[in-house]
Amino acid sequence: MTHPPLEARIAAVRAFNRYYTRKIGVLHEGLLASAFSLAEVRVLYELAHRQFPTASDLGKDLGLDPGYLSRILRGFERHRLILKTRSRSDGRQQLLSLTTKGQAAFAPLDARAREEVAAFLDPLSDAEQRELIDAMRTIERLVGS
Q: How does pLDDT run across 41-74, given as a tens digit for each residue?
A: 999 999 999 999 999 999 999 999 999 999 999 9
Residue 53: closest CA among 80, 100, 77, 85:
85
More confident residue, 1 or 65: 65
What domains can you pick out in the chain, each with its CATH number? 30-115 (1.10.10.10)
The reply to whether the predicted model has a pTM over 0.75 is yes
pLDDT at 27 over 70: no
Residue 1 has pLDDT above 90, yes or no: no
- CA dist 41 and 33 (Å) reads 11
Whole-number Å distance between alpha carbons of 32 and 34: 5
Q: How confident is the model at residue 145 (pLDDT cuts 50, 70, 90)?
A: low
- Counting Cα atoms < 13 Å in the Cβ hemisphere of 65 gives 3
Per-chain mean pLDDT for the chain: 90
